[in-house]
Amino acid sequence: MSARSIFARPARLAAIAPYLWMVLFFLVPFGFVLKISLSQTAIAQPPYVPLFDLTAGWAAIKAALSELSLDNFKLLVSDSLYISSYLRSIFVAVTSTAILLLIGYPIAYGMARLPQRWQPIAMMLVIVPFWTSFLIRIYAWINILQHDGLLNKMLLALHIVSTPVVWLSTDTAMYIGIVYSYLPFMILPLYATLAKMDGALIEAASDLGASPGRAFWLVTFPLSLPGVGAGALLCFIPIVGEFVIPDLLAGSGSMMIGQTLWLEFFTNKDWPVASAAAVALLLLLIPPLLLYDRLQRRTLRGGG
């Protein structure tokens, strides 16, 4: 009894800590954003009405609450700018995730089949670029992709092209940047699934008459699907909200939702609409987040 009570309180506190963190740094700010998204824009500081004046009493709060409206959300669904931003975000995220899978799977598969002592080194090679600032790496890509950059110089030297190709400010550049930045997020979950796979299963498949190719498609690939799902969602979710990469590498023709948000906040100073867009983005990402959570749970339960 006494031994229990010694440990019970700190243990309970430790269990509460993550929830406290979530409330303080996620729920409360989200409450602010949600509230702003329901109010009207104003030329003021801060640029929206109404504000809760807690000192003015219950009546004032009630008056302020009555001012809230869903107008901003109605704007989101009626203005094609927002809809096309959302659609573009999802399209870019789906395409990038597909490319990431195509590149990441063979790399993860190769890593998992390396001799045991080489695997940590391969893992390091995947992670090491993260030690450099993300922004610096994107600027490095600008350097490589620009008109007289490394890539064009190489292509010219190898006589593959006769005039420099326009890379920068195109979707190609954006996809290069996204795929480059998110590749580790794809490789690591895939590698984790593939590395723990029992080699005897492949042997059993070949013992039962499956050629190496058949064995891969009938055994390895289906069993790696949880890793595929985890990697795909781990990339898809943040790519939808990506701002920096499209802003620095893509053209200004069409925008992803992150860019639209930024524009509303900082250029138009329309905080309520921007907040509404942010809330909508979050709602959009809840289904894939739940899916990811379920996948993780299933792997935890079935794994071992």
CB of 151 to other proteins, least distance (A): 43
CB of 109 to other proteins, least distance (A): 17
CB of 232 to other proteins, least distance (A): 18
The token pair that represents 89 in the structure block: 């975000």
Does 53 engage in binding with other proteins (CB under 8 A)? no
54 versus 200: smaller Cβ distance to other proteins: 200
Does 300 engage in binding with other proteins (CB under 8 A)? no
Indicate the length of the chain as a whole number: 304
> What is the residue type of 167?
W
Beta bridge partner(s), residue 48 = 41
Q: Name the one residue in this structure whose structure tokens are 């996948």.
A: 295
C-alpha angle 257-260-263 in degrees, rounded to nearest 5 = 155
**Contact between 168 and 147 (Cβ < 8 Å):** yes
22 versus 225: smaller Cβ distance to other proteins: 225
Does 194 engage in binding with other proteins (CB under 8 A)? no
Residues 271-290 that bind other proteins (CB under 8 A): none
The dihedral formed by the CA atoms of 299, 300, 303 and 304, expressed in degrees to the nearest 10 = 160
- Could you tell me the sign of the dihedral formed by the alpha carbons of 255, 258, 260, 263, in that order? negative
**Contact between 231 and 187 (Cβ < 8 Å):** yes
CB of 8 to other proteins, least distance (A): 36
> What is the residue type of 112?
A
215 versus 278: smaller Cβ distance to other proteins: 215
CB of 220 to other proteins, least distance (A): 11
Does 206 engage in binding with other proteins (CB under 8 A)? yes
The stretch among 69-77, 98-106, 188-196, 200-208 that binds other proteins (CB under 8 A) is 200-208
Cβ-in-10-Å burial (0-12, 13-18, 19+) of 239 comes to buried
CB of 210 to other proteins, least distance (A): 5
Residues 207-236 that bind other proteins (CB under 8 A): 207-212, 214-215, 218-219, 222-223
Beta bridge partner(s), residue 49 = 40
Does 113 engage in binding with other proteins (CB under 8 A)? no
26 versus 217: smaller Cβ distance to other proteins: 217
Does 115 engage in binding with other proteins (CB under 8 A)? no
Cβ-in-10-Å burial (0-12, 13-18, 19+) of 116 comes to exposed
Number of residues that bind other proteins (CB under 8 A): 20
Does 10 engage in binding with other proteins (CB under 8 A)? no
The stretch among 54-62, 205-213, 261-269, 286-294 that binds other proteins (CB under 8 A) is 205-213
Residues 90-109 that bind other proteins (CB under 8 A): none
CB of 222 to other proteins, least distance (A): 5
Residue 65 CA to residue 302 CA, distance in Å, equals 48
Residue 164 CA to residue 152 CA, distance in Å, equals 6
C-alpha angle 27-30-34 in degrees, rounded to nearest 5 = 135
Q: Among 100, 138, 186, 205, which residue interacts with other proteins (rule: CB under 8 A)?
A: 205
**Contact between 233 and 291 (Cβ < 8 Å):** yes
Does 196 engage in binding with other proteins (CB under 8 A)? no
199 versus 253: smaller Cβ distance to other proteins: 199
Burial 178-200 (b: 16+ CB within 10 A, else e): bbbbbbbbbbbbbbbbbbeeeee
Binding site for other proteins (CB under 8 A): 198, 200-201, 203-212, 214-215, 218-219, 222-223, 302
